[in-house]
Structure 1
């Protein structure tokens, strides 16, 4: 396969935060206390949490941990990229807030999420949304069709990531260098918060409106992701449970 086609193939697969793929053998967090407290439970139009891998990418290591009195997921990336993800469905009118926490021991020095070849992050909380695909640009529509051809499912209409950036200020929006339909919202910056638990509560609707300039569609997937495949470096982090709050409790 020519290099240009191979790069496009890899980009499409990596952007599929809401598409189906086989869970990594030997990794099962569905029955852990972390999973019981996170996302939407099965029976509420949701699947169990699974470790999802990307073809051609080494997998990061996910495991349950009890850290400083918290139920957590420990993640180690060694030149790798994969995610722990739950497929779910929350209708737009039911979108409230998402509450999450993480602990990061060190940043990825070479990383820059605005650059295609340095787009790594020690922590990401990833939200995938439905939307009106007729509004996609020709480039994004083609990328979605390529993803559909390769995996049997199109890429999400929009993906919002909460991230920790090396240098950009909280509130900065970083557009993915491969597609305009993936945008990152910086919620932590620099090294001052390293080696301690940091807590966040984000109004999903307000953040989506600000980042994409339109009202959100249904939320169809959530994931946590620590990746270092572009910089071929090592990164580690811990994530606390990821919880959804009802509309009445959401930040306004």
Structure 2
């Protein structure tokens, strides 16, 4: 039974996409990113520096988001470099209100029909609350082993965290198969990649972090 389920998930990840496969493209950190802040919380600071995003959190939390051009909706691979100079403590990423993390990189998907109806300039808050949105988050942080998949405590089954690295300092690079990530989290292949977001927060632990992401590429 377990073998049949594993094969079904793998088959879903390898199924023919409903949108054309995207050519590899660098995704710059520029003025196209929108900020989403939260009431009564100081905002994490993001320095948009072209190929690099600087991140500074001081007992703070916020998110930045970029909608994707239709030509990137078929992207099924992502690559990036990241580094953490100062880290938040290890936290339980499954716990609402106690889940500080150094970096979370969100890949936001919708079914093809919903993506077609998506209006340019849709706010990140509106998109993330859309019932058809499905979010896979790659995270550096937490007290979980690398490779752990956790349901987001905020998204009611529409978002999952994949732990890349537990809390701590260092640097590294990631190459990931977005189709396989989506299938592992939701049991089916993705349709349209509509947006990317970054968040970092240190409000729950009342600490600070310094980090960066660079050379983010989709393809």
TM-score (norm 2): 0.71
Please list, as runs of the form range in 1=range in 2, the aligned pairs for 1:1-252 lying within 5 A after superposition.
38-39=26-27, 49-56=32-39, 57-64=41-48, 71-89=51-69, 94-109=74-89, 111-131=91-111, 155-156=129-130, 157-178=133-154, 179-189=156-166, 191=168, 194-195=169-170, 197-245=171-219
How many residue pairs were aligned? Answer: 182
Change (3 A) 1:51 1:230: farther
1:152 to partner: Cα distance: 5.7
Q: Find runs of 4+ consecutive structure 1 residues off by over 3 angstroms.
A: 89-93, 151-154
Work out the CA distance in 2 between the residues paired with 1:152 and 1:190: 30
Stretches of structure 1 lacking an aligned partner (at least 5 in a row)? 1-36, 42-46, 134-147, 246-252
Where relative contact order (Cα < 8 A, 6+ residues apart) is larger, the structure is 2
What CA RMSD, in Å, does the superposition of the two structures yield over aligned residues? 3.1
3-state secondary structure, aligned to 2:174: strand
Work out the CA distance in 2 between the residues paired with 1:92 and 1:175: 26
More helix by share: 1
Work out the CA distance in 2 between the residues paired with 1:173 and 1:98: 18
Change (3 A) 1:109 1:228: same
The answer (yes or no) to whether the contact 1:104–1:122 under 8 Å persists in 2 is: yes
More strand by share: 2
The answer (yes or no) to whether the contact 1:48–1:86 under 8 Å persists in 2 is: no
3-state secondary structure, aligned to 2:198: strand
3-state secondary structure, aligned to 1:94: coil
